[in-house]
Structure formats: C-alpha cells, structure tokens
Structure 1
Amino acid sequence: MMKTILHKANERGHANHGWLNAYHSFSFASWYNPEKIQFGMLRVLNDDTIAAGMGFGTHPHDNMEIITIPLEGDLAHKDSMGNGTIIKSGDIQVMSAGTGIQHSEFNPNHDQHTKLFQIWLFPKFRNVEPRYQQITLDQSLQKNDFAQILSPNPDDAGVWIHQDAWFYLSDFDADFSKKLSLKKEGNGFYIMNIEGEIEINGEKLERRDAAGIWETNEIEIKANSSSKFLVMEVPMEQ
C-alpha cells in the first residue's frame, strides 16, 4: 500500500542569519523537529540564499554524501583535497566526505545573491576515500522529461555517489504528465517542487512544497502550471 507524507513549504525550519537565509526540510543546526529527521537515507535538504560576497568558512564533514545544486548565481568552493572551483546555476557538485574533508563555500559576486539546494545522504559505505565531482548539466534534457543528474554508477548520466540513489531534474510544461519508475525495489521518492505547481497522485505541491512517497514502484507527476522540480529516489533503509 503506497504511503505518502506531505511537507509544506511554510512548515520548514527557517533561520535568517542576514548573510544566510536558510530553509530546512529536515532537522538541522538549531532547528529540531522529531517528525522531520530524515526520509530514508536523505538526511538534509537545505534551501539556502547566500548574500553577495558572503559564505561558509572552512568546516569539516565526514561519512556523508553531500550534493550541491545551485539555482541562481555562483558558488566558490575550496576544499582540503585541493579543489578550488566555481559552481553555477545549471551545475551539480558532489563530495563524498568519507574519512573526512574540510571545505568552504562562498558567493564570489558582490552584486547578486546565490540560491542553492544542499543535500546530504547517508552513504552506503563508511570511511571511503574522500572524492569530489562537478559537472555542467544539459538542461535541455529536463524539458518534459526526468533528466537523471545523479546515480550510484560512474558510467551513468550525472554525478555519482556511494549510495543506491538516483536524482532527476525536470522542467514540465503546463498540463504535461509523465510516469517514473523506481530503479531499485524498496526505495522511495522524495519530490521537491522548485517552481510552479505539480500534482502527484492527486496531491498538489506548490512552490517549495515537498512530498515523500514509498511502498510503490511508480509515480506519475502532472504539471498544473509550468513547473520545475527535483525527484530524489533514495533507499528507505540501509
């Protein structure tokens, strides 16, 4: 029997630090909600706006798969593996923190903010060698389709991580609908609606609403207006 949980945009945790305006889908930092700890192996989904010229100082991570998807503007990245890059809207970045990394992220522009999703998944394996990957996505593939942007397989489309997860970005026209099947039995879907309004099995998601759906092998997503959204297929158990 299919199970669904709805996470409305206005129910997320919120912290405005001035330089950082952050919305948390799951418990993070000083915001704790016992009913929103994680969805399967998805532990963090932060919707961050970073002010011009500001950012996160050097800080550590370990044993987490960390995915960054810029939505607007640029993000400068430096890490203890020697990477120093700029990621932009249309890119995706992943770090396997593994045995431990340190990194910093900041908005290099002095005239515009940067918006991004930062997503953490628990890894399939602990204490892996840290790694970094960044690619530019072909956004044309997202038009009225599920464009794969992440998988467990280095040879597949998108970036890869140490977890049996698949991510898709989509840009649907109004009234377009399409079905998506699980890649791995027992996984679940977590859908974040970025812009517009979509409908999944009769449940409407407006801007920044999200839904978790599991114990089903397939979902159908219909766009009620021109919409952009992120679908994350994740293991429900390790």
Structure 2
Amino acid sequence: MDDVELTPQVSSKHKFDDVAMQRLRAEFWGILQQNQRRVAMQHLIDSKFGGYTMQASIAIQRISKKSVAHRTIQAWLMDPGALSSRNCPEWAVIALKAFVDDPANDEYLKSCERMAKSTASYMPHSTAVDVKYGVKYATSAIVSDETRRKAWCEASLVALPHMISKFENTTERHLEHLDHHVHAMWRALREATDFEDYRKRVLDEVSDKETANMIIRNTRRAIEEGADEFPNY
C-alpha cells in the first residue's frame, strides 16, 4: 500500500488532510486486493475447472477443510457493487491454487476438462444455471423487479395511465401469442393422424399466425407513420 499515491483533483472543493488520505489509500488498496483475488479465482475456475463452480467448490473444500458452496463461489465472482457480490477471501484462492498445483489432483482436473469439452456444444439450461450462472441470473431478476417497482412507485399521475396502457398492451400481446400456440396444438390433436402430422400442423399454423401478425404490425406502422400506401397528403 505504501506504493500507492492518491492526488485530489485541483478543482476539488473538499480538502483532504493526511488522515483522510491515508484512509482513502487503505480503502483503495483493499478494493484492489479484492479485485485481484476475484480475477485470480475466475481465471483458475475457467482454465482448470471448465467454468464449473461446483467442481471448484469441491477442490477448495478438500484443501481448506471448510464448507464452501458453489453459489458462494459464484457470489465471489460477481462484479463489485452487485447486490450478490461477496468478498473473495484470500484463503480460498490459495486453496484452489494449491489444489491445481498438486500432481495428485491431475486426474480430477482432467475429468473437469473432459466435462467442459463434452458440454461445449450443448449444456442443459438448468445445469448451466446451477453450476455457472445461478447467482448472476437471480441477481438480475432482483434488480429488474426492484427497478420496475421503483418506476411504478415514483410514477406521476400524468405518467401512470401511459404505464398502465403499455403494461396492458404488452400483456395482451403475450397472452395472444400463447393462445395461438395452444389453439394450434388443440386443433392438431383433434385432426392429426400421427405424430409427424401433428408436428407439421402445429408448426404450420404457428408460422401462419406469426406471418399474419407481422403483416399487421407492418401495416400499423405504415398507418401511424403515414408511410408506404398511407401518405399524408
């Protein structure tokens, strides 16, 4: 930390004394160290464990003898400032590197490599969520819900009707989309002679509905913008 020098902007109105500067240097150094540990952890998991936090958690537990859940590791890898971000401890990085450097664990690391190669072209979404992205996706859902809640709570009386209208239109279109699919499946169930016939009928009707909706959207755009066959003379 003694090698870190911080210089306030010349235009800054706030005056920093030696105590304040020392505190800021310590905070900066701590953040820098946290980031270096996070990057080191991410590199080891990506390069040696195929990106699987589950396999990395097993490795850390074997060396450290501490209970470490794979979702905890995902939280360590989250960007600083994220709701789910947690400080990656130094002992965890040391333990993971010690596991990787031990020749006795070569077979385990090879199995992780084989697993990564076997799932390179396809991995079930539920598996990817569990072993890689669960914390990230859950965090995004929390942020999205909170952003939406805040927008509704802070909406003015002028903006509220427009927000309700937009929400109703979006919901109606989504329900219409689902209704088209369900109707196509029920019609095919009544009329199809075998599975291939059923599959073709469903896909054909859904495609037909989507094409019709595209024509309607394009026509609406032309009407609203006074374009194509609808010029505003």
TM-score (norm 1): 0.18
Q: Which has the higher helix share?
A: 2
Task: Name the structure, 1 or 2, with higher relative contact order (CA <8 Å, separation 6+).
Answer: 1
Highest Rg: 1 or 2?
2
